[in-house]
Amino acid sequence: MDVLVVDHPLARARLTTMRDARTDNAAFRAALHELTVMLVYEATRDLPVAEERVHTPVARTTGYRLANPPLLVPVLRAGLGMADQAHKLIPDAQMGFVGLARDEETLQPTPYMESLPDSLAGRPVFVLDPMLATGGSMAYTIRLLTDRGATDVTAICALAAPEGIKHLEDSGLPVRLITASIDERLNDSGFIVPGLGDAGDRQYGAVH
């Protein structure tokens, strides 16, 4: 599996803000928004472009646009904090939604929402979720996509654990990963160490 770690100094600075336990919900959301721009920028770097003629005030020249904009799929809740920024960068993208909550005992994803186009054949997909921990939620989401014909999936995550990367690699699913950091490990509760805590709670407040 291709893995790209975006370790640009500005990305590291935003991630540091997100990691800091003193960062409040609003500042955490702002840092995630800004980090998302950097991750999506890198994720789109090699996408095919279509050429079009453009008239500047001075002359005619060749212009460019994405030939086949990806479907954006935020994984609720935490991925919602990446959705608007990704959409601003790719305004003609369509968006689908998946809602998952990880069971705190079993660490298995429990699905509660799914809104995706019927067919994804020939369409690249960007899955937006700040956290790749065990990898169970991401693998579940990607299977929803491949069941609809997707063969080109990019997982965009602020943080990834080695265990989650291995899970995706072992799954054989057609995915590449863009992340700002590969952290050390998971703890006994399935949290990424050093991590940043619960990315949903850090943005929107605790539900339990």
Ligand X SMILES: O=P(O)(O)OC[C@H]1O[C@H](OP(=O)(O)OP(=O)(O)O)[C@H](O)[C@@H]1O
Ligand Y SMILES: O=c1cc[nH]c(=O)[nH]1
Q: How far apart are CA 183 and CA 105, in angstroms?
A: 22
Binding mask 157-176 for ligand X (x = CB under 6 A): -------x------------
Total residues contacting ligand X by CB under 6 A comes to 23
129 interacts with Mg ion by CB under 5 A: no
Which range in 20-28, 45-53, 65-73, 98-106 contacts ligand X by CB under 6 A? 98-106
CB of 172 to ligand X, least distance (A): 17
74 interacts with Mg ion by CB under 5 A: no
Which residues of the chain form contacts with ligand Y (CB under 6 A)?
78, 131, 133, 190-192, 195, 198-200
Query: Taking CB within 5 to 8 Å according to partner kind, which of Mg ion, ligand X, ligand Y, none is near residue 109?
Result: ligand X
CB of 54 to ligand X, least distance (A): 40
CB of 130 to ligand Y, least distance (A): 7
109 interacts with ligand X by CB under 6 A: yes
Q: Which residues bind ligand X (CB under 6 A)?
A: 75, 77-78, 100-102, 107, 109, 129-138, 164, 190, 198-200
